[in-house]
Amino acid sequence: MRWTKLGIIMGGGALPLRLADACANQGRPFVAIRLTGFADPAAEAYDGPEIHLGEAGKLARILKDTGCDAVTLAGIVPRPDFSSLRLDWRAAALLPRLLAAAARGDGALLDVIVDAFEGEGYKVIGADEIAGDLAVPEGPLGAVAPSDDDREDIRKAARVIAALGPFDVGQAAAVAGGLVLAIEAAEGTDDMIARIASMPASIRSGAPRRGVLVKRPKPGQELRVDLPTIGVKTIEGAIAAGLAGVAVEARRSLLMDADEAIAAADAAGLFIFGFRPEDVA
């Protein structure tokens, strides 16, 4: 074991809860540290402390006092308004670097935060190291597999995301019958999928269910934080958008609530697919 006690810094959504569960099940000591306003209310059950975004000094004290030697950053934290954040002195000291990085993209911002933890001597652990069962395997996950046309769309969307690598943009794109429907930037994946639902169906060449949503890591991104994550909401969005399926890069993407997500996809005739980088190169 590379670490003895893990601080789980909990943003929104179910991922932080699943990581805490995984630690509990494996008998790995952890402290559940909730980010006020972001962590799911269910996270209170893990009986840990709560901090505001910007309380870096308080966080450092908690990690030291509880004997953590590693941290994981998990869950959704929308990009903050740095000008209205309550920053303690420790966060304030980091602010110039944070602001400079924030202007380059979310990836750059997360790199600074990871560096700060490592600079303090903490190991930064990826969600997939703790709960490997969340990582998407290769191939179809449910009853439906992508057609040859779908695979071409997967390839094109995956290549769009790769081409945007130098610009630290989003992790998602959607393609239908070769036509790029949408590319994620600052609006987030859910908004992007909702936009597709509002496009005329004819844009997908009139087929009842066509096109794929692809999520994959940005080239060069820090893989220990912000792995592409899909879940029931993603599948429901893809169903509403008339897409044929959702594909993510195998092993480097997470599927939350897999049973429920796969059941929803199967019921609607959608595929969920884990592709290999070499399949889309």
37-71 burial code (b ≥16 CB/10 A, e <16): ebbbeebeebebebbbbbbbbbbbebbeeeebebb
Say whether 14 sits in a helix, a strand or coil.
coil
Asked if residue 177 binds a second copy (CB under 8 A), the reply is: yes
Which window, 5-13, 20-28, 95-103, 216-224, contacts a second copy (CB under 8 A)? 95-103
Asked if residue 23 binds a second copy (CB under 8 A), the reply is: no
Between 128 and 153, CB nearer to a second copy: 153
Asked if residue 156 binds a second copy (CB under 8 A), the reply is: yes
According to CB under 8 A, which one of 24, 29, 44, 104 is a site residue for a second copy?
A: 104
Instruction: Compute the C-alpha angle 9/15/19, nearest 5°.
Output: 70
Residues 6+ apart with CB under 8 A from 236: 264
Asked if residue 169 binds a second copy (CB under 8 A), the reply is: yes
Asked if residue 180 binds a second copy (CB under 8 A), the reply is: yes
Token pair in block for residue 178? 């070769």
Q: What is d(CA 149, CA 76) in angstroms, rounded to the nearest whole number?
A: 33
Residues 115-144 that bind a second copy (CB under 8 A): none
According to CB under 8 A, which one of 37, 67, 139, 178 is a site residue for a second copy?
A: 178
- Measure Cα distances from 157 to 174, 241, 246, 280 in Å: 6, 16, 11, 9
Residues 6+ apart with CB under 8 A from 31: 5, 6, 7, 8, 48, 49, 62, 63, 66, 68
According to CB under 8 A, which one of 29, 137, 206, 220 is a site residue for a second copy?
A: 206
According to CB under 8 A, which one of 139, 191, 220, 276 is a site residue for a second copy?
A: 191
Between 143 and 197, CB nearer to a second copy: 197
DSSP state of 184: -
**What binding mask, one character per residue, do residues 70-89 give for a second copy by CB under 8 A, x or -?**
--------xxxxxxx-----
Shortest Å, Cβ 198 to a second copy: 8
β-bridge pairing 70-74 and 6-10: parallel
Count of residues near a second copy by CB under 8 A:
42
Burial of 151 (0-12, 13-18, 19+ CB in 10 A): middle
Shortest Å, Cβ 160 to a second copy: 5
Binding site residues, a second copy, CB under 8 A? 78-84, 99, 102-105, 156, 159-160, 163-164, 166-169, 173-174, 177-183, 185-187, 191, 195, 199-203, 205-206
